[in-house]
Amino acid sequence: MSHSVTRALFDQVMVPNYAPAQFIPVRGEGSRVWDQDGREFVDFAGGIAVNSLGHCHPALVAALTEQAGKLWHVSNTLTNEPALKLAKYLTENTFAERVFFSNSGAEANEAAFKLVRKYASDHFGAEKHEIVSCKSSFHGRTLFTVSVGGQPKYTEGFAPVPGGIRHVEYNSIESLKAAISDKTCAVVVEPVQGEGGVLPASREFLEAARALCDAHNALLVFDEVQTGVGRSGSLYAYMEYSVTPDILTSAKSLGGGFPVGAMLTTEKVAKSFGVGTHGSTYGGNPLACAVAHKVLEIVNTPEVLAGVRAKSQRFVDGLNAINAKYGVFKEVRGLGLLLGGVLTDAYAGRAKDFMLAAERHQLMALVAGVNVVRFAPSLVIPDADIDEGLKRFEAAVAEVVGQTA
C-alpha cells in the first residue's frame, strides 16, 4: 500500500528529538490500534500512561464533541463552567482545596515549583529557597523541571540551569535527612518513579519525607503526573500510601488523551499565587476540562479502581509466568497498572530490544530507562486483551532470547 504521508517524512520535516516507531497508527478503539496498513496492535503503552480509558472511549468522545459544539476557549480573563466543575470534583475527592490548571505535566510541576518558592518567600524570606528532589526522578522538560529532575542527561548542554536544587537517593531516609534543612522550601517526590524505572517509594520513605517537611516548615510535593487518576488502584497514589502532600501535580491519565494538567493544593498554600503571580493562556480550557471531568467520573468508581487492582495482578502473574520460562527479568515491580520488568544482567541495557520485538509481534510496550520494560495500559483494558497482549509479549521475549543464545 502506498501512503501520501509516510514515516520517512518525519525525518524530513520534524526536529529530530524523537525516534518514533516505523509504523504510523491511524485509528484506535479500546486497547487496540491500527496502523496505515491495517495491522492491528494490542496497546500496553497507553500513550505513555495517558489513554486511561483506552482509545476513543464513547463517553469521552461524547464529552469532547458536546463541548466542541458549545465553547472552545475563553482564556483566563473569564472563567468557564467545565473548569469550575472539574476543580470542584478534584477538591471534593482529594485533600486539595484549590486547583490550578495547565496543559501538561511539566507545566503543572513548573507551577508547583514556582509556588513552593513563592510560599517560602512570603512566609520565611528569600533564604528558604532550596528544593530537595530525588536522583533518577523525572518531572518534565522545561528548564526548571529538568533541573529539579534527577537525570543529568536531560540538563546536559542547557546550562546555565536554575540553582538551589539538591538531589538525594530515592527511598533513602538517611540521604533525605542529610539534605533537608531550614533552607529547604520543598521536597519533591514521585510516589512511583515512572521514567526512572517504575520504582515504587517505600511507605517509610514517604512518611519520613512528610515528617521532615513538617519539622523544617517545608512543603511536600507529590508529582503524580504518571501515578495519578486511578493508575495505582486508588484515585491518587498518595491514598495508597496514606501520606498526604501539600501540593500534588496531575496530568497524563487526567485527560485520557486530551492535553490537560492540574496542580492541587491547600487554601493556605494557594494564597501565595495571588492575582498576576502566575498564569497560562490555555490552562482550564473548556474542552480539556470537560474531557477530564468525564475521565474522573468514570475512573473514580469502586468498579474501575478494583478492576485496576485485579488487572494488575493478572499482568504480574502473566509476566511472571513468561519469566519462569525465559528468565529475562530480575523482578516485576510497580503499582496498579504501572508495571515494569527489570532485566537481568544478561540483558542489561536492552529494554529497547524487547520493545522493538514486541512491535514486530504487534504489541505496543514502553521502556523506562535502558533496563526496564514498562507497561502502562488503559485502566479498563479487557482481560482478553491482556491475555492476547501477553501472548504477543511472550513471542517477543522468545525472539530476543533466541537471538541472544
Which residues of the chain form contacts with ligand PLP (CB under 6 A)? 104-106, 109, 138-140, 190, 194-195, 223, 225-226, 251-252
Give 239: exposed, middle or buried? Use CB within 10 Å, 0-12, 13-18, 19+.
middle
| Residue whose C-alpha cell is 497508527 | 25
Taking the complex as a whole, the smallest distance from the CB of residue 223 to ligand PLP amounts, in Å, to 5
How many Cα atoms are found within 13 Å in the side-chain-facing hemisphere of 149? Answer: 24
Q: Which residue is nearest to ligand PLP (CB)?
A: 105
| 280 annotated ligand-binding residue | yes
CA gyration radius for the chain?
Answer: 21
Taking the complex as a whole, the smallest distance from the CB of residue 176 to ligand PLP amounts, in Å, to 18
| 166 annotated ligand-binding residue | no
Taking the complex as a whole, the smallest distance from the CB of residue 261 to ligand PLP amounts, in Å, to 6
Tell me if 393 sits within 8 A of 363, measured CB to CB: yes
Taking the complex as a whole, the smallest distance from the CB of residue 104 to ligand PLP amounts, in Å, to 4
Q: What is the DSSP string of 169-238?
A: -TT-HHHHHHH--TTEEEEEE-SEETTTTSEEPPHHHHHHHHHHHHHTT-EEEEE-TTTTTTTTSSSSHH
| 105 annotated ligand-binding residue | yes
Cα separations in angstroms, 165 against 154, 188, 272, 365: 15, 10, 21, 33
Looking at beta carbons only, is 248 or 357 nearer to ligand PLP?
A: 248
Looking at beta carbons only, is 138 or 144 nearer to ligand PLP?
A: 138
Instruction: Tell me how far apart the alpha carbons of residues 405 and 81 are, in angstroms, rounded to a whole number.
Output: 60
Q: In what side-by-side order are the strands of the sheet with 40-43?
A: 25-29, 32-35, 40-43, 363-364
Looking at beta carbons only, is 194 or 230 nearer to ligand PLP?
A: 194
Tell me if 63 sits within 8 A of 290, measured CB to CB: yes
Looking at beta carbons only, is 196 or 318 nearer to ligand PLP?
A: 196
Looking at beta carbons only, is 32 or 252 nearer to ligand PLP?
A: 252
| 225 annotated ligand-binding residue | yes
Taking the complex as a whole, the smallest distance from the CB of residue 105 to ligand PLP amounts, in Å, to 2
| 403 annotated ligand-binding residue | no
Looking at beta carbons only, is 223 or 394 nearer to ligand PLP?
A: 223
| 138 annotated ligand-binding residue | yes
| 23 annotated ligand-binding residue | no
Taking the complex as a whole, the smallest distance from the CB of residue 142 to ligand PLP amounts, in Å, to 8
Instruction: Tell me how far apart the alpha carbons of residues 290 and 293 are, in angstroms, rounded to a whole number.
Output: 5
Binding-site positions for pyridoxal 5'-phosphate: 105-106, 138, 223-226, 281
Binding-site positions: 105-106, 138, 141, 223-226, 280-281
Binding-site positions for N(2)-acetyl-L-ornithine: 141, 280
